[in-house]
């Protein structure tokens, strides 16, 4: 019964997937059809701020806690998660260490930027071959960390605002940006998306990568992102799918076996499925147009765009006209 209600919700004229909603790559079946198929086969989908119960935490034999306490959502009015802020504050100095705790993001960054460049150039009718295709665009990087995404966006011509709730992250970002005249123009603020909404800030594109799985209330967070986006503007969000594959790869594999990430970086129950993210964004007046997966090749040590959204994925949406 729940699946039928969800199917009707998706097909509702105000909330349906756009006709052009598609996978980034051209080598597979249409993602819209696959998403709808996945939805109709599920018995229920929980869209509340409290996700379904996760599998039992994976415990390493070398530790007694396994970091299971990190990432627990706190019942506060904003989307901030205090335990997550403390966790990232403790490793803020390592943001620009390409071999440190943020190595996976450094390695993934070229692939993330390729998707961002392609979708934004197409949406805003910019020349993707230009050295500075984002000239004239105002972009906000929500949850910017040390600025590893904000800086290349600025080099591509955008007027960039980077915001993060962790003061140490902003300090590191500002110090690193000062070394380049182009990146020194980035506006870094220790604040939140909600505060920017209160200040009535608006941007052509709102980007938040690998952040939503660390917030206390994804629905409220997306609502703020939608409010920051100008009508017909763009919103991009990347995160990790809540699947058994992601539990094996992003937690057991990345945190406990390969040690790419500190133990406790992620909590499986805080992940969102692509279907949930699409619906949450829809309620925030953002219509998802495109989605792609990120797949890691252990032989080359590189990430690539794919139609496989079983673990890491990114969504591109546009703000509904008002």
pLDDT in tens, the chain (322 residues): 433 333 333 434 343 344 444 454 333 333 433 333 333 333 333 333 333 344 433 333 333 223 322 233 333 345 666 766 675 566 778 889 999 888 889 999 999 999 999 999 999 999 999 999 999 999 999 999 999 999 999 999 999 999 999 999 999 999 999 999 999 999 999 999 999 999 999 999 999 999 998 899 999 999 999 999 999 999 999 998 998 887 777 777 667 777 776 777 767 677 899 999 999 999 999 999 999 999 999 899 999 999 999 999 999 999 998 6
97 inside domain? yes
Task: State pLDDT tens for residues 194-222.
Answer: 999 999 999 999 999 999 988 999 999 99
For 320, phi then psi, to 5°, come to -65, 145
Q: How many CB atoms lie within 10 A of CB 63?
A: 12
CA distance 261 to 255: 5
**Selection from 257, 247, 241, 251 nearest residue 291 by Cα:** 241
At 71-118, the pLDDT tens digits run 333 333 456 667 666 755 667 788 899 998 888 899 999 999 999 999
Q: Is residue 292 part of a domain?
A: yes
- Give a yes or no: residue 7 inside a domain: no
46: in domain? no
- Let me know: does 298 contact 291? Beta carbons within 8 Å: no
Q: Is residue 143 part of a domain?
A: yes
- pLDDT at position 85: 66
What SS3 state is found at 12?
Answer: coil
Residue with tokens 């904003």: 78
DSSP type of residue 127: -
pLDDT at 1: 41
Residue 287 contacts residue 318 (beta carbons within 8 Å): yes
pLDDT of residue 57: 39
- The set of residues, in sequence order, having a beta carbon less than 8 Å from that of 176 and lying 6+ positions away, is 95, 96, 146, 147, 151, 183
Q: Which residue ranges are tagged as binding site for Mg(2+)?
A: 210, 213-214
Considering the domain boundaries, does residue 40 fall inside one? no
Domain-located, residue 44: no
- Determine the straight-line distance between the first and last CA of the chain, rounded to whole angstroms: 33
Q: Which helix (H) or strand (E) holds 189?
A: strand 187-190
Residues 6+ apart with CB under 8 A from 184: 177, 178
Distance CA 31, CA 23 (A): 5
* Exposed / middle / buried, residue 78 (Cβ in 10 Å: 0-12, 13-18, 19+): middle
Tell me what pLDDT residue 110 has: 97
Q: Which residue ranges make up the annotated binding site?
A: 112, 143, 164, 209-210, 213-214
Token digits for 272?
């969102």
* CATH number for 287: 3.40.50.150
Residue 19: inside a domain: no
Domain encompassing residue 259: 81-319
Backbone angles phi, psi at 318, to 5 degrees: -125, 145
pLDDT of residue 322: 64
Place of tokens 């992250």: 169
Distances (CA, A) of 268 to 12, 51, 73, 92, 153: 30, 9, 12, 23, 30
Residues forming the annotated binding site for S-adenosyl-L-methionine? 112, 143, 164, 209
pTM (two decimals): 0.74
Query: Based on the structure, what is the number of domains in the chain?
Result: 1
pLDDT of residue 184: 97
Sign of the Cα torsion 316, 137, 207, 9 reads negative
Identify the three-state secondary structure at position 208.
strand
């Amino acid at each position: 019964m729940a699946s039928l209600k969800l199917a009707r919700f998706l097909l509702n004229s105000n909330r349906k997937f756009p006709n052009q909603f598609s996978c980034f790559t051209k080598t597979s079946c249409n993602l819209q059809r696959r998403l709808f198929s996945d939805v109709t086969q599920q018995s229920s989908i929980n869209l509340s701020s409290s996700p379904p119960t996760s599998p039992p935490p994976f415990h390493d034999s070398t530790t007694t806690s396994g970091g299971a306490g990190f990432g627990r959502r706190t019942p506060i009015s904003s989307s901030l998660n205090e335990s997550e802020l403390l966790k990232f504050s403790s490793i803020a100095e390592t943001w620009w260490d390409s071999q440190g705790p943020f190595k996976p993001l450094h390695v993934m960054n070229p692939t993330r930027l390729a998707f961002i460049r392609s979708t934004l150039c197409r949406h805003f009718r910019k020349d993707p071959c230009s050295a500075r295709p984002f000239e004239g665009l105002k972009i906000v990087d929500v949850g910017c960390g040390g600025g590893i995404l904000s800086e290349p966006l600025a080099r591509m011509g955008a007027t960039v605002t980077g915001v993060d709730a962790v003061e140490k992250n902003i300090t590191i970002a500002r110090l690193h940006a000062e070394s380049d005249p182009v990146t020194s123009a980035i506006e870094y603020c220790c604040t939140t998306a909600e505060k920017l909404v209160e200040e009535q800030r608006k941007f052509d594109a709102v980007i938040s990568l690998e952040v939503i799985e660390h917030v206390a209330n994804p629905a409220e967070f997306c609502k703020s992102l939608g409010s920051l986006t100008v009508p017909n503007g763009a919103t991009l969000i990347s995160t990790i799918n809540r699947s058994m594959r992601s539990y094996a790869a992003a937690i057991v594999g990345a945190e406990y076996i390969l040690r790419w990430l500190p133990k406790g970086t992620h909590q499986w129950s805080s992940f969102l499925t692509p279907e949930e993210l699409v619906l949450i964004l829809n309620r925030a007046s953002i219509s998802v147009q495109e989605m792609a997966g990120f797949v890691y090749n252990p032989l080359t040590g590189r990430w690539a765009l794919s139609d496989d959204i079983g673990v890491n994925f990114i969504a591109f949406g546009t703000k509904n006209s008002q």
